[in-house]
Structure 1
Amino acid sequence: MNRLRVLALLPALVVIVAAALGPTLAPQPADRPVGIPFADPSSDAWLGADRLGRDVLSHLLYGGWGLLLLAAVIAVLVTVVACVLGAVAALRQRVGTLIESATDFAMLVPVVLGILLVLTSWPDAGVYGLIAMAMMFGVPYCARVFAAAASGVAASGYVEAARASGESLPHLVFREVVPNLREVFAAQLGLRFVEAVYLVSTASFLHLPTTLGTGNWAVMVRDNASGILLNPWSVLAPSIAIAIVAVSVNLAVTEFGRGTRGSVDAVSVRQSADPEDRPGPAQNSTPNDAGAEPNSSAARTARLPVALGGGANGAHPASNVSAGAEAATDAAHPDGFGVAGSADGLSDIEPPVGPDSAVASNRARPMHDSSTGDEPDPIVVVDGLSVRGLSGHELVGPLSFRMSPGTITALTGPSGSGKTTVMRALLGQLPSGAPRAAGTVEVAGHEVFALDSATLRRFRRTEITYVGQDPGSALNPLMRVRTLLAEVARDRSEPALLEAVRAVGLSAEHLRRRPGELSGGQQRRVALARALVRRTDVLVLDEPLAGLHGALRSEIASLLVGLAKHGTTILLSGHDTAAIHTIADQVIEVGTHAAAPGLTLPSPATHESNGFRPATGPSPEAADRGDVDGGSSHSAVEHSRPPIVFRASGINASIGKRRVLADIDLALTAGSALAVVGASGAGKTTLARVIAGLRAADGGALTLADRSIELGGRRRIGRGDGIQLVPQNPMSALNPRRTVAQTLGRPLRRIGGVPKNAAPQRITELLDAVELHPALAARYPHELSGGQRQRVALARALAAEPSVLICDEITSALDHATAASIMGLLDRIRAERGTALLVITHDMTLVAGHCAELVVLDHGRIVESGRTAEVLANPVEQATHDLLV
């Protein structure tokens, strides 16, 4: 506990301890007169006497415990009940609606007035009546706060995985959601305690029967108010005691909230898939005395906006989108919505040379003055950055690079190499507890680690924008997209917001949706739109092309190229090396795979336009089996195959009045692998959630091994049914409060019926099945790499011995080597266990290499299906062509 926390909490602790021990510390009995009424302080009565001649100090020591105990009881009851109700509301929409109605009703009557009316008409209620009334009026408000906080937890991958495995509502509430609301619980408990102190004091002051003990501080204030001029301490002493408790607890709650959350502000720094990249407090050093800020927001706002994307003139020769497509992008944005760039100067990085250097050498740099031959000064300078973990192991470094205005720099490397750590360093934030061993980071003229807290927050608001690897976690699930954009936009007008969503490939209709109504790819685009509307000179994007289909990936890449051409400096990371090399001016490989630390690689100009190139074709095992029927009415060719173990027929689903799935038919045989592909928003994840039992469907039927399965989100409460889901994001897929052993032990005991004493051995076997070392069982998710987390999520699903395994974009956040390893592992599992796989992905190379058959979704319908090799070789529908761009 740091010194500031101790100082914030110390006054309240002193008063509370004094109140609790008061009767034993009091020099006189509380009711014994020691002098004349309102006598001045003396050696016998340090604070003088009250209206009955009693020692004020003794009465003060006797009167505190009752008030504080009653306030604590009220605070605990209100907070606990509200926390549980809020968690239930986040998991059950009807309960949430009921809580909102109760809150609206409670708002009609002021709390004190309501309690006054009840207790005056029910004088025998006493303390119990006050507690009941406090809960009646306090719980709805507090529950709404918890419901808002719990909604993000309830939408996380580990909660969905628990629901898909048949966990009961009490388990979801008390084991999955509530433990991850600790910070909110602590803050609310402190606030409710302060509120309860005031409430009990007010009730006592109004002569309501609410006293525990012979009297309390509020009664002292009431009874001695007439003598405040004779002996002020008779009134001031209890008033100051109440104020100290209230103010000190509020300060302590605020300080503890800052400590647990770190210096997170509008940048919305979130968790990522890299193991070292945990959110932590900003590392502040000596304050910056420079005074004026270069590239101030006022100066930048005065600039004329420029169009997003480039036209035919000055087109980026390295773009992975054709000139015609780029021109079409410009035509779609006639209003000139854009991001202004910096006018600062030049890079010390030598231009790449050789036959593969065309991209970097031909890259349009509008800030470059060709007439003078000078290059612009770098806007980002990372010099010798080295970061070490608490154990002394090196997380990153040493790493050095520079970025000129209007350029794109890409970080590549395997999962866990520290890419996200480097990107967050530009924001002045390092992993929790990780010291900056050496080096400096300068952005837009600021040495970020030397900024004081206020300057650092202003820097993050005005100079730099960060979009994390899991952008969905940065979107408030209760807000509509319009509000999410408007809260950070410089221009909040409707045309500007429309232009922002159109720039990232979304329609105006998406402005009315909430994050829960968007696909993963659509959430990623909304997060990017939020970054664009802030109009900062430096844009930091962690995996911006992950989880997007081919055509959209090209569009987003073209958008980034257009932003850079107009002055925005972009640092991005990614595993799609072909796309990255096509758009980046410099590529920096981070981690052990680099030839040297911080090696800068030229961007080759010979890459194809993100083209689809099947590497190996379908796996031999899949081809020999003649895998799955891609849809009963859509399969082009019938093959002799094992009996069907799972079938979905006529699946229909809607969100509001919008149909998102229509007449979906598909089937799986034992050991088969069927790919479900399509553009973002086509309905892939909705289909997976319907099959997994996480959401209701409007109609259709599911059959597993000739057994009918109920459609709907409540079908598996309390039991498993042979279908397991592996969620998309490996970080959010695991409960951060649980070790790997705890994560795997639950399904083993509940579904597998494994005795507690046999669980460790079975956990070791599961880890071995997914090629992880048994020592990892004691680790928490943040101590694992992205690939390790994905394997643990897979092991958890396998613990339930499923017949069908649904894999939702499980390789999108992984580097190619790790993704290939995961898919090879799945091939082995389905061969050994006969598990059928339903693979949802945008990676068509992965589909060609591991799935013998596929179905293509477009706007909720199957538009094409059949043998993978045949469909990809001769696509008929435009939706299929778009995936192969």
Structure 2
Amino acid sequence: MRDIRDLRIVVTVLVVVVGLLAPLLPGVPDPAAVVGRPWEAASTAHPLGLDRQGRDVLARLAHGGWWLILLAAAAGTATTVCGTGLALLAWRSLRVEAAVSAVTRTALALPGILVVLLAGIFLPAWVAVALTMALLGVPLSVRVVGSSLAAQRRSGYVRHAQLRGAPPTAVLLREVLPSAAETVIGDAAMRVIAALQLTVAVGVILPSGLSWATMIAQGMSGIRLNPWATLGPAFAIALIGAAMAVGFDALSDRIIRGREHPGAGRAARSRQDGVRVRVTDEQLRRHRGAQEDGVEAGTLRVSTLRGRTVVALTHLSVVPGEVLAVRGASGSGKTTLLRVLAGRPVPGFRVSGRLRVPGRVRMVTQDPGSTLSPQRRVGRAIRDGRRGFSRAALCEALAQVGLAEEFLDRQPWELSGGEAARVAIARAVLDDPPVLALDEPTNALDAASRDLVVGMVRDRSERGRITLVVSHDSVLVDELASRTVDLAAPGSPAGPVDGTVLPGPAGGRPPRVSTSGTGRELLRWEGPSESSDPSRGPVVSLRSGEIVALTGPSGIGKSTLLRVLAGVSAGSGRLRVDGRTASMEDWSWIPPRDPAQRALVAYAGQDPVAELGPLRSLVSSVAQAAGSDRRRAARILARLHVPTGAMRRRPGRCSGGQRQRAVLARALASAPTVLLADEPTASLDAASALRVRAELESVAAAGGCVLVATHDPDLVSLAHRAIHMEHPGQIEEHEHAM
């Protein structure tokens, strides 16, 4: 695949260079010389015949492309550059956005054919092309690129850059623009090809010179006598256009997906070669004899494009009624194996061997929120284009995961992480598929929601349905699994997978600091009161040396509270940070009005897909918060057991657990006084979760404080006290025994 991509670029460059430099090739005759009778047919001396004045068509073809190619490339590229620049300015300022939107609407209302005809008749060709592309092409580029940029306004990595005080221009050029690079390159391809066609159209309207457009216009009158006088330049234009399209596609593929760091393959090989899969037959359901209806894999091998084996499986069959659990350390290939067993494509990997998957398969990914379209309400998202399902059927699917009918009319961005996960599960079980694949289904769920998912899977099993589950939750696996597949990567720094864990930093956990509420108050938030008495509103107080757990049902507002305290979302109430009052309006202002005060607080969000820049490696994202010190960033990632090879990869090439640890590492890299973490252990194996807990204790031991929203009972037990939210806006505190 990589070789094919490189070959496409080479072919594109070769075709364009030949078109530009053909007049300089030795032996190319003078295109203006009359060498025979008009419209003479093709011969040995003149392979494409002669035109209406007796000139050699092949010679004219060699000389007629360079000007057209240069003009199209210049006009198309300039159009995209101007459109992208205006889109960036509009993204930065709402006033500029309104003005640009009004101008582009007016420009797009112009009749395009009339603009082309008037420009082609009254202006020189190059001026006509430039003016037409400016009037018609730039507004389209603004709209196309602007739509891509708009999706990044609420992205975690952009907000993180803004809140750390990065200049607006730096945010635009380093965060926003690279993330829209694929759209920009695609737009450039469209504009260059449009400019090519426009140049041809203008040349046909008023033929002049020796260009291919002039050849087409002049050759039409004798197309029956010598069709090559017209078809030759037409084929050349089509070839150049196709080559440019292929080249831009290959360039986009190369830049956006990129190559792994040269050392990544070697580093990963030492950790993941020889991955062994152990299948333990514990209990087989009563449907044992119906193997023809189950999932069956034989001599299955999943490898990277460079040939490195990720998972090798000799034989595995899953019969109706079984629940197969896949376990292993973060980054060991669990999600990859699940996608393969579910019959789903695995980008970036080769799959060989024999696999049979019966009927329909539905899959719930590890990051379910990212699979919900922001343009669709929950009801449409659950239906997912499938017909024949009434509103009652949608309500029944929601009821299986504990959500009420009112959720059907909500927008995805109104859902919490746990609610988005349950909506994704409801979408998957709507049509009762024979095979259901669940990747970390209970990550963001409270105990009650988790029990509902367990009950749903058990009900499927009793009805003879197959369920494939990837989970770090050993209790969940023990409750549900008929059999387990353990992926063990010998030598992986993520640690063994058989229940043992590695010690924390510096040989063990730092001593737990007993504060009992006597430490210095680092952050205090007094929320608005629903009654007339302002003193009865919710209060959050964080003191030095303590870890505070924020608990409550999914969707109750835990993540929202963290985002307000972090300044990521706007909020109300009164806030004091390190003894100084901070206006809630100023606290969420972009850029920060008090960067020094804002730097005291760091936030690690729940969704690593949205939190990390898609085109930055993990170490690069962490280094942004570490003063561009990549060595320090690498040390923090190593403390969290992120493999060296994974550090150098982009988030899309890493496992969910590796991305989650990178988000926490970025927060730790700023050496915060107050650390706000949202479900930091949700996607982690036991060894990695222990490392995370040790790092949280280190922050408290250094005199800082940690507020962590979690459903993890081990993390709750680590906290000095807990803040419980049973209802929105109502907070109850519970002191833990030391």
TM-score by length of structure 1 reads 0.69
Query: How far apart are the structure 1 equivalents of 2:400 and 2:469?
Result: 18
3-state DSSP of counterpart to 1:667:
strand
Q: Equivalent residue for 1:342?
A: none
Q: Over residues 223-275 of structure 1, what are the superposed CA-to-partner deviations in whole Å (9 max), with x where a residue is unaligned?
A: 3322323332222211121222234444566678789999xxxxxxxxxxxx9
Q: Equivalent residue for 2:34?
A: 33
Deviation, 1:549, is: 0.9
Please, which moves more after superposition, 82-91 or 574-583? Answer: 82-91
Q: Equivalent residue for 2:568?
A: 694
Query: How far apart are the structure 2 equivalents of 1:508 and 1:740?
Result: 40
Query: How far apart are the structure 1 equivalents of 2:478 and 2:322?
Result: 13
Q: Over residues 293-344 of structure 1, what are the superposed CA-to-partner deviations in whole Å (9 max), with x where a residue is unaligned?
A: xxxxxxxxxxxxxxxxxxxxxxxxxxxxxxxxxxxxxxxxxxxxxxxxxxxx
Alignment of 1:19-168 (within 5 A): 19-25=19-25, 27-42=28-43, 45-83=46-84, 105=106, 107-117=108-118, 123-124=122-123, 127-128=126-127, 130-150=129-149, 156-168=155-167
**Cα contact 2:163–2:590 (8 A) shared by 1:** no
**Cα contact 2:549–2:715 (8 A) shared by 1:** no
Query: How far apart are the structure 1 equivalents of 2:480 and 2:556?
Result: 27
3-state DSSP of counterpart to 2:730:
strand
Q: Equivalent residue for 2:369?
A: 472
Q: Given the superposition, is the C-alpha separation of residues 408 and 804 from structure 1 closer, same or farther in structure 2, using an over 3 Å criterion?
A: same
Deviation, 1:807, is: 0.5
Alignment of 1:475-554 (within 5 A): 475-491=372-388, 493-533=390-430, 535-554=432-451
Query: How far apart are the structure 2 equivalents of 1:46 and 1:85?
Result: 49
Q: Given the superposition, is the C-alpha separation of residues 114 and 677 from structure 1 closer, same or farther in structure 2, using an over 3 Å criterion?
A: farther
Please, which moves more after superposition, 706-715 or 391-400? Answer: 391-400
Q: Equivalent residue for 1:712?
A: 588
Deviation, 1:852, is: 1.9
Q: Over residues 87-107 of structure 1, what are the superposed CA-to-partner deviations in whole Å (9 max), with x where a residue is unaligned?
A: 677787777777766665555
**Cα contact 1:91–1:151 (8 A) shared by 2:** no
Structure 1 residue identity aligned to 2:330: S
Q: Equivalent residue for 1:643?
A: 520
**Cα contact 1:412–1:589 (8 A) shared by 2:** yes
Residue 625 (structure 1) aligned to one of 515, 518, 521: 515
Structure 1 residue identity aligned to 2:295: V
Q: Given the superposition, is the C-alpha separation of residues 400 and 256 from structure 1 closer, same or farther in structure 2, using an over 3 Å criterion?
A: farther
Q: Given the superposition, is the C-alpha separation of residues 106 and 582 from structure 1 closer, same or farther in structure 2, using an over 3 Å criterion?
A: farther
Q: Equivalent residue for 1:424?
A: 339
3-state DSSP of counterpart to 1:545:
coil
Q: Equivalent residue for 2:226?
A: 231
Residue 550 (structure 2) aligned to one of 676, 684, 688: 676
Q: Equivalent residue for 1:796?
A: 666
Deviation, 1:669, is: 1.6
Identify, as 1 or 2, the structure richer in helix: 2
Q: Given the superposition, is the C-alpha separation of residues 150 and 528 from structure 1 closer, same or farther in structure 2, using an over 3 Å criterion?
A: farther
Q: Given the superposition, is the C-alpha separation of residues 566 and 491 from structure 1 closer, same or farther in structure 2, using an over 3 Å criterion?
A: farther
Residue 682 (structure 2) aligned to one of 801, 812, 819: 812
3-state DSSP of counterpart to 1:671:
coil
Deviation, 1:835, is: 2.0
Q: Equivalent residue for 2:273?
A: none
Structure 1 residue identity aligned to 2:133: A
1:380 matched to 2:380: no
Query: How far apart are the structure 2 equivalents of 1:351 and 1:798?
Result: 42
Q: Over residues 72-130 of structure 1, what are the superposed CA-to-partner deviations in whole Å (9 max), with x where a residue is unaligned?
A: 1232233344455566777877777777666655554443334445666xx45753453
Query: How far apart are the structure 2 equivalents of 1:43 and 1:252?
Result: 34
Aligned length: 696
Query: How far apart are the structure 1 equivalents of 2:58 and 2:488?
Result: 66
**Cα contact 1:15–1:245 (8 A) shared by 2:** yes
Deviation, 1:547, is: 0.7
Q: Given the superposition, is the C-alpha separation of residues 94 and 663 from structure 1 closer, same or farther in structure 2, using an over 3 Å criterion?
A: farther
Alignment of 1:295-374 (within 5 A): 352=283
Q: Given the superposition, is the C-alpha separation of residues 22 and 480 from structure 1 closer, same or farther in structure 2, using an over 3 Å criterion?
A: farther
Q: Which runs of no fewer than 5 residues in structure 2 stay unpaired?
A: 258-266, 270-278, 492-496, 499-508, 531-535
1:588 matched to 2:485: yes
Structure 1 residue identity aligned to 2:546: S
3-state DSSP of counterpart to 1:810:
coil
Query: How far apart are the structure 2 equivalents of 1:682 and 1:101?
Result: 40
Deviation, 1:467, is: 1.9
Query: How far apart are the structure 2 equivalents of 1:113 and 1:480?
Result: 41
Q: Given the superposition, is the C-alpha separation of residues 87 and 4 from structure 1 closer, same or farther in structure 2, using an over 3 Å criterion?
A: same
Q: Equivalent residue for 1:443?
A: 357
3-state DSSP of counterpart to 2:626:
helix
3-state DSSP of counterpart to 2:50:
coil
Deviation, 1:513, is: 3.6
Deviation, 1:857, is: 5.3
Query: How far apart are the structure 1 equivalents of 2:103 and 2:381?
Result: 27
Q: Equivalent residue for 1:745?
A: 623
**Cα contact 2:619–2:637 (8 A) shared by 1:** no
Deviation, 1:515, is: 2.7
Deviation, 1:492, is: 5.3
**Cα contact 1:167–1:717 (8 A) shared by 2:** no
Q: Given the superposition, is the C-alpha separation of residues 247 and 497 from structure 1 closer, same or farther in structure 2, using an over 3 Å criterion?
A: farther
**Cα contact 2:12–2:246 (8 A) shared by 1:** no
Structure 1 residue identity aligned to 2:126: V
Deviation, 1:64, is: 1.2
Deviation, 1:745, is: 3.3
Q: Given the superposition, is the C-alpha separation of residues 844 and 350 from structure 1 closer, same or farther in structure 2, using an over 3 Å criterion?
A: closer
**Cα contact 2:282–2:482 (8 A) shared by 1:** no
Structure 2 residue identity aligned to 1:491: G
Please, which moves more after superposition, 84-93 or 823-832? Answer: 84-93
3-state DSSP of counterpart to 1:546:
coil
Query: How far apart are the structure 1 equivalents of 2:369 and 2:100?
Result: 26
Deviation, 1:813, is: 0.8
Q: Equivalent residue for 2:261?
A: none
1:846 matched to 2:723: no
Q: Over residues 710-756 of structure 1, what are the superposed CA-to-partner deviations in whole Å (9 max), with x where a residue is unaligned?
A: 13351428946222111224465443533454334333337xxxxxx
1:404 matched to 2:319: yes
CA RMSD after TM alignment: 4.2
Query: How far apart are the structure 2 equivalents of 1:6 and 1:831?
Result: 52
Q: Given the superposition, is the C-alpha separation of residues 740 and 563 from structure 1 closer, same or farther in structure 2, using an over 3 Å criterion?
A: closer
Query: How far apart are the structure 2 equivalents of 1:384 and 1:588?
Result: 15
1:201 matched to 2:203: no
Identity value in percent: 30
Residue 867 (structure 1) aligned to one of 716, 735, 738: 735
Q: Over residues 525-545 of structure 1, what are the superposed CA-to-partner deviations in whole Å (9 max), with x where a residue is unaligned?
A: 222233224553211110111
Query: How far apart are the structure 2 equivalents of 1:714 and 1:90?
Result: 13
Please, which moves more after superposition, 480-489 or 70-79? Answer: 480-489
Query: How far apart are the structure 1 equivalents of 2:110 and 2:303?
Result: 56
Q: Given the superposition, is the C-alpha separation of residues 20 and 807 from structure 1 closer, same or farther in structure 2, using an over 3 Å criterion?
A: same
Q: Given the superposition, is the C-alpha separation of residues 381 and 831 from structure 1 closer, same or farther in structure 2, using an over 3 Å criterion?
A: same
Query: How far apart are the structure 1 equivalents of 2:101 and 2:464?
Result: 47
**Cα contact 1:11–1:248 (8 A) shared by 2:** yes
Alignment of 1:274-313 (within 5 A): none
**Cα contact 1:490–1:534 (8 A) shared by 2:** no
